[in-house]
């Protein structure tokens, strides 16, 4: 009886010890992240600190340096971990270089290459980035081009399709070239045409300019950026913020070239807003030129401009809105994004509380809230146009004052 109890005790103790050892081993043994999910038994070849390359018809299609990797039993997949200094080629010319990624998969049958970043597993953990340089611009074509001539990229995923010569880049994608930065969730690259289609949470930033849009297109050869649908641009200089809305906007990586806007152009800046058919913005001079059926409204300092006012200005409510505030129509209106001053040219007409004045040109001083009309200047009074040397319109005091010789010119 006692011997039976002793053996029973030993057996229970042994089972308990094995259980403790199993639990301890589970917690202290190294584990691969589930993000890199491939069973150890699915390998036929392993390698470390090796340069791996892929070829088609004798031409190199890709080349990567990997800390470790292995090939699947059917040789369909090659898995590489901690990839660095990777290059993807088209016709033996690099289109992606200096690629670095936590994981890369190369498919032998389709020749597709997929590089992956590692997302955060826990709140305290750090995401491991996928980074590379893309050849999308004409300056990146020469063999002597430096890294500054390429687009610097970071993302969660990059998949390259060699047969179509295109790439899909997804997840927190950032493209940087010189002072320009593009962010989106999806970018589709045509390496032959050197065009990138950009969509989902799109924004563009350069110096003091910030842009959002439904989608964008990057033309590599022209180094041109085209923003499409619900384009909103903010230009900030100290306390002055200029907000532009348009259907279409075009920029160049060369900051000496003007940005253009078209389709339902609306501008809001402090105490004034305007609508026009088109607009041009110069980063060199920080000036915005509105053209084509320009209409603007100037409010007093105490009045805040509402964002729907520009839409009203286009509609049948525009006449009523113009009567309530100081309004201006002209062929062109130049607005300074630094000082807030503005200058109108061509058939300028200013209205205020039922009074009207017209001239060839008009200048608006944002600090004094006054509009100065010069050149063939006339003030309408009792259905007569009275000629004057110049006319000063005070937005703040809501007055029109004629200066210089005044005479009745003709009667309406």
Which tens digits make up the pLDDT trace of 269-295? 988 999 999 999 999 999 999 999 999
Residue 275: how many CB atoms within 10 A of its CB? 23
For β-strands 93-107 and 130-134, DSSP reports them as antiparallel
Query: Please, are residues 351 and 326 in contact by the beta-carbon 8 Å criterion?
Result: yes
pLDDT at 32: 44
Please state the rounded mean pLDDT for residues 336-341: 95
Those residues with Cβ within 8 angstroms of residue 395's Cβ, 6 or more apart along the chain or in another chain: 271, 298, 299, 300, 326, 352, 369, 370, 371
Q: Which residue has the tokens 């009045």?
A: 303
Better-predicted residue by pLDDT, 235 or 309: 235
pLDDT at 332: 97
Q: Hey, what are 66's tokens?
A: 């990997």
**Closest residue by Cα to residue 218 from 229, 208, 228:** 228
Q: How far apart are the first and last CA of the chain?
A: 130
pLDDT at 122: 52
Q: Which residue has the tokens 């033309």?
A: 219
Query: Please, are residues 280 and 246 in contact by the beta-carbon 8 Å criterion?
Result: no
The domain locations on the chain are: 38-206
CATH no. of 38-206 = 2.60.450.10
Residue 72: pLDDT band with limits 50, 70, 90: confident
Q: What percent of the chain has pLDDT over 90?
A: 49
pLDDT at 234 over 90: yes
- Output the pTM of the full model: 0.78
Better-predicted residue by pLDDT, 288 or 52: 288
Interatomic CA distance for residues 11 and 22, integer angstroms: 17
Residue 48: how many CB atoms within 10 A of its CB? 10
């Amino acid at each position: 009886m006692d011997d039976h109890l002793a053996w029973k005790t030993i057996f229970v103790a042994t089972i308990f010890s094995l259980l403790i050892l199993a639990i301890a081993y589970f917690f202290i043994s190294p584990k691969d992240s589930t993000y890199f999910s491939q069973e150890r038994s699915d390998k036929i070849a392993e390698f470390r600190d090796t340069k791996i390359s892929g070829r088609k018809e004798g031409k190199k299609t890709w080349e990567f340096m990997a800390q470790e990797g292995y090939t699947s039993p059917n040789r369909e997949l090659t898995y590489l971990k901690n990839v660095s200094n990777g290059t993807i080629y088209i016709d033996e010319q690099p289109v992606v270089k200096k690629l670095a990624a936590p994981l890369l998969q190369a498919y032998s049958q389709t020749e597709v290459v997929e590089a992956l970043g590692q997302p955060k597993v826990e709140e305290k953990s750090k995401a491991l980035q996928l980074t590379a340089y893309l050849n999308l611009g004409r300056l990146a074509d020469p063999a002597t081009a430096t890294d500054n001539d390429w687009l610097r990229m970071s993302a969660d995923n990059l998949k390259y399709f060699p047969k179509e010569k295109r790439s899909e880049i997804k997840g927190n994608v950032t493209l940087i070239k010189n002072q320009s930065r593009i962010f989106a969730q999806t970018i589709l690259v045509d390496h032959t045409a050197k065009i990138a289609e950009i969509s989902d949470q799109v924004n563009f930033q350069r110096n003091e300019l910030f842009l959002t849009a439904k989608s964008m297109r990057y033309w590599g050869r022209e180094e041109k950026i085209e923003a499409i649908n619900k384009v909103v641009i903010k230009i900030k200089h100290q306390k002055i913020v200029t907000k532009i809305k348009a259907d279409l906007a075009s920029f160049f990586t060369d900051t000496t070239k003007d940005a253009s806007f078209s389709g339902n152009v609306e501008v809001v800046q402090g105490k004034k807003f305007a609508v026009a058919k088109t607009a041009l913005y110069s980063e060199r001079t920080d000036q915005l030129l509105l053209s084509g059926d320009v209409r603007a409204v100037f409010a007093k300092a105490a009045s805040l401009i509402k964002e729907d006012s520009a839409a009203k200005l286009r509609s049948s409510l525009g006449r009523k809105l113009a009567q309530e505030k100081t309004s201006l129509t002209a062929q062109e209106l130049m607005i300074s994004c630094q000082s807030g001053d503005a200058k109108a040219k061509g058939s300028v007409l200013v209205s205020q509380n039922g009074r009207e004045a017209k001239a060839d040109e008009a200048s608006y001083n944002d600090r004094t809230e006054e509009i100065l009309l010069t050149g063939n200047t006339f003030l309408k009074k009792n259905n007569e146009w009275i000629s004057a040397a110049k006319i000063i319109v005070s937005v703040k005091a809501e007055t029109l004052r004629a200066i210089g010789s005044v005479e009745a010119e003709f009667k309406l």
